[in-house]
Structure 1
Amino acid sequence: MSDKLNHNWINGQQFTTTNSLQVVNPANGETIGEVPKVDAEAVKQSINAAHQAFNTWSNYTAEYRGAVLEQWAHNLLAKQEELATIMSEEQGKPYAEAYGEIGVCAKFIKWYAEEGKRIYGEIIPPSSPQQHISVIKQPVGVCGLITPWNFPGAMIARKVAPALAAGCTVIVKPSSETPRIAIAIFDELLATDIDAGVANIITGSASLISDTLFDDARVRKISFTGSTAIGKSLMKKAADNITRISLELGGNAPTIVLPDADLDQAANAVVENKFENTGQMCNGINTVLVHKDITTAFTNKVIERVKKLKVGPATDKNAQVGPLINHGAIDKVSTLVADAQSNGATVATGGQKLALSDFGLFYEPTVVTNVTADMNIAQEEIFGPVAPIIEFESVEEAIKIANASPYGLAAYFFTNNINTVYKISEQLEFGMIGVNGTQLSVPQAPFGGIKESGMGREGGHHGLDGFLELKYISLSLHE
């Protein structure tokens, strides 16, 4: 079939193969395109290209690299509607969310276009009169960037922009579920003044591509966003060449609603976060912990809002909740809800698949009550449009439930008592804390987790650190 996005980019040239991967619209199961399925030789070609381009790109001024990034952001905004349509079609998220995500891409790229100019070194007081000590920061080199399907545009920008700003060259491997939007975004990057080989994108088998990247010592850094299980396997592969690695992995984000919270404001924030991207968000709320004194009142407010959510394909511009990404995802959601019910939980609203298409990936926005912390629905990352509500009696109990998870990406809580804000924030074992709000992904702040949610940060000046090496220089002067 003909598809204008059926190509990769290697060394500044479009690259195609005879073997292809089909891309499916999760709203209806229709094949919407195909992308190359590269072999190991193509991966090696991309490494060669990135390695050869590194010396030139890393020696450009930060101002020059920033100008290229500014061009890229401009190109994306000029085609925001077209790109949003591509994203919605292959990922399933509502058009409004996809349109906003392209805007987020541009924000991250523009921010790093400026932040790359502020990669500062240090002058350190010497230990003797003849000694001068300085520390400089240099780009690590060739970087392999592996991105997920749930935010297939934003994650390209969040990884590629700081890498390029730091002076690195990149090889991007997007998810096979959503490769076309990644290629479309790369088309706009390659339409700038960027040198050939600086930015490469390849699609195909995740294991083949990652193994080839890890086997080549010229690849100095891998950045991966995805499941904790795969992240652990990549850490093992990184050991062979001591490849630097950063990981943004699974989450099981709790939100805690205290009795003194503004319940309407909290309900709005919880529903907005929980059902964004059909609940397929690593930092999305997984469990809602509510104090016993307000459980009924708060639950009713959440249910009222959830019942008003419009479910539909991206072609319905009024849709707020789309399909899940694949059959494995909806099966997991269905299983978790059924398991909770069998163990005493109650489905207060939703709880069923929706027959909006024969493909069967739509699921009702769901609220489950009478959930206990030991149920699978509370222990596992749901990654779907389901909000389990757990009642607690004290702040200490809520914090204990939240911290019992092996994950530590994001947590949220709602209170109007300023005295408890830092007390709870400091006790929660998570890399990011939202207080009276759930917006965490912004260009200027470090996004990332602790424990089994990964290592490293994306966003802020901290997002540059993973692409930079420290070099200490000691100069001894002779009299």
Structure 2
Amino acid sequence: MELQDLYATHGQFIDGAWRSGSEEACEMINPATEVPLGAIKPAGAAQVTEAIAAAYAARASMRAITAWNRSALLRRAAALIDERAEALGRLVALETGKPVRQAVGEAKASAESVDWFADEARRVFGLSYESRVKGDRYLVHMEPLGVVAAFVPWNFPLLLLARKMAPALAAGNTLVIRPSSEAAGTTMALIKCFEDAGFPKGSINLVIGRPAEITPTLMNDPRVAKVSFTGSVPIGRQIVEQSAATLKRVSMELGGHAPVIVHADADIDAFAALAAPGKFRNAGQVCASPTRFYVHESIADEVGAKLVAATRALRVGSPLDDATDLGPLTTRRRRDAIEKMVDDAVSGGARVLSGGARPRATERGYFFEPTWLTDLRSDAAVLNDEPFGPLGTLATFSTLDEVVAEANRLPFALAAYVFTRSLAKTHATVDRLEAGVIGVNTFVASTAETPFGGSKDSGFGREGGPHAIRDYLDTKFVNVAMPADAD
């Protein structure tokens, strides 16, 4: 289905029915061409309240489904996502500018995540053990929380939503989803997979629109039991503050500013080959993106030269072209923010090793060259604020103490990366780094079966892996005291 049709005929998904929004239509812009993709009518506060009511009423339907049947529904949804991966990837490329090969990979990873939690639905175990009184029993049950509100940004509109929907539904909860408007059509197409899989009416609800209309309504409603949020640190703080009024449970996956430590014994060629695509995947719009690169002084010149050469070999172009490595940034404001960071760094004496400007060959679109900066002052914005774009920094270090202190200096603690051939250096570095996810000789930070999340200002809670479903469950203790004359 084309995006114009999705926007016009779908829009909001409330109580098992697709409908238009109630607010004035707004245009969706293709970030590669700056041409409108179509227009969508956003949801108003009244429709958000309808969605909450539908999700609240559907709790009984979800509780009536056995864990094995929930597993079967999720497995069916995963299969549909996988079957539609090419079409889903094209929607992601059109709406966000992500290169289509990466976007199809995201769709495939989303299917894997849903499939993983199809298994976890059948593995929600309780406990039964003897009480202090002979013949009595202590029972511990795990039960769904109820209505879950899921907030999802635009940089991974399929995967980030799948990682929230799958454990929530596996645990037997219902959902109200508020995605980013920049990826409205992509989100609708993903929800269609779950609808076609046969989930009960009202169990999944989608409201697309302005945060000012949607967020307060969700946060102020006591029927919403939990919020799962992925986004920026400032908005995450607001969500946590708003959750206090109704004591909602909250999971936060917030920003990062990942350090990369390249020890003197690292495989330089392997590192350079991984670092260029790893840094500039999705134009650097990845919360776990490596951003601050620290290279041992003894190999700094060789690493810098090979890293720049590998970066210049990347192809910037149309996200619909299979050969493209970097598409545009998703929004004009992201491109403007990156330009401002580069200007700030250069005005403070930094050197541009590669990139640093909009590509000359692209007259339209929110494109920016893959950029490396070095010789930065410690107060440069790019060293202190998450760049969230195609911008990396290079610096040298001489001792482990020095580089670990610098890596841990910021309040972010999401991801970090280490390159070394030494097991001793691996353990010595990993043990001291403050990060929820650490890659050693790799930039792969997340898979369906592994936990993903951070601490400090990067949030709390984990998505993926065997523990994620716990964030969507409540614990009930039952003390069974049997009468003396019981059969």
Question: Relative to structure 1, is the Cα distance of residues 222 and 135 closer, same or farther in structure 2, using a 3 angstrom cutoff?
Answer: same
Counterpart position of 1:418: 423
* 1:253-312 superposed Cα distances (whole Å, 9 cap, x missing partner): 011000011111122222221100000000001110111111101111101100101001
Counterpart position of 2:94: 89
Alignment partner for residue 187 of structure 2, among 146, 170, 182? Answer: 182
Whether the 8 Å CA contact 2:4–2:37 is kept in 1: the answer is: no
Does residue 1:17 correspond to 2:33, yes or no? no
Q: Provide structure 2 residue ranges, at least 5 long, that are not aligned to the other structure.
A: none
What's the TM-score, normalizing by structure 1?
0.97
Number of residue-to-residue matches in the alignment: 479
Whether the 8 Å CA contact 2:348–2:377 is kept in 1: the answer is: no
Amino acid in structure 1 at the alignment position of 2:6 = K
Amino acid in structure 1 at the alignment position of 2:200 = D
Amino acid in structure 1 at the alignment position of 2:19 = F
CA distance in 1 between partners of 2:261 and 2:56 (Å): 48
* 1:168-217 superposed Cα distances (whole Å, 9 cap, x missing partner): 00011110111110011111211122111011111001122111111111
Offset at residue 135 of structure 1 (A): 1.5
Whether the 8 Å CA contact 1:27–1:357 is kept in 2: the answer is: no
Whether the 8 Å CA contact 2:28–2:40 is kept in 1: the answer is: yes
Offset at residue 372 of structure 1 (A): 4.5
The 5-angstrom pairing of residues 67-466 of structure 1 reads 67-466=72-471
Offset at residue 125 of structure 1 (A): 4.8
CA distance in 2 between partners of 1:372 and 1:445 (Å): 37
- Which secondary structure state, in structure 2, belongs to the residue aligned with residue 290 of structure 1? strand
- Which secondary structure state, in structure 1, belongs to the residue aligned with residue 119 of structure 2? helix
Offset at residue 130 of structure 1 (A): 4.5
CA distance in 1 between partners of 2:452 and 2:96 (Å): 23
- Which secondary structure state, in structure 1, belongs to the residue aligned with residue 273 of structure 2? helix
Q: CA RMSD in A?
A: 1.5
Offset at residue 446 of structure 1 (A): 0.8
CA distance in 2 between partners of 1:120 and 1:272 (Å): 41
Offset at residue 393 of structure 1 (A): 1.2
Q: Provide structure 1 residue ranges, at least 5 long, that are not aligned to the other structure.
A: none
Amino acid in structure 2 at the alignment position of 1:14 = W
Offset at residue 99 of structure 1 (A): 0.8
- Which secondary structure state, in structure 2, belongs to the residue aligned with residue 353 of structure 1? coil
Offset at residue 132 of structure 1 (A): 1.8
Offset at residue 322 of structure 1 (A): 0.6
Residue identity (%): 34
- Which secondary structure state, in structure 1, belongs to the residue aligned with residue 426 of structure 2? helix
Whether the 8 Å CA contact 1:133–1:473 is kept in 2: the answer is: yes
CA distance in 2 between partners of 1:393 and 1:374 (Å): 21
CA distance in 1 between partners of 2:130 and 2:465 (Å): 28
Question: Relative to structure 1, is the Cα distance of residues 32 and 360 closer, same or farther in structure 2, using a 3 angstrom cutoff?
Answer: closer
Whether the 8 Å CA contact 1:253–1:284 is kept in 2: the answer is: yes
- Which secondary structure state, in structure 1, belongs to the residue aligned with residue 318 of structure 2? coil
* 1:35-73 superposed Cα distances (whole Å, 9 cap, x missing partner): 231111111111111111111212311110111111111
* 1:380-404 superposed Cα distances (whole Å, 9 cap, x missing partner): 1111111210111111111000111
CA distance in 2 between partners of 1:149 and 1:332 (Å): 17
Offset at residue 355 of structure 1 (A): 4.0
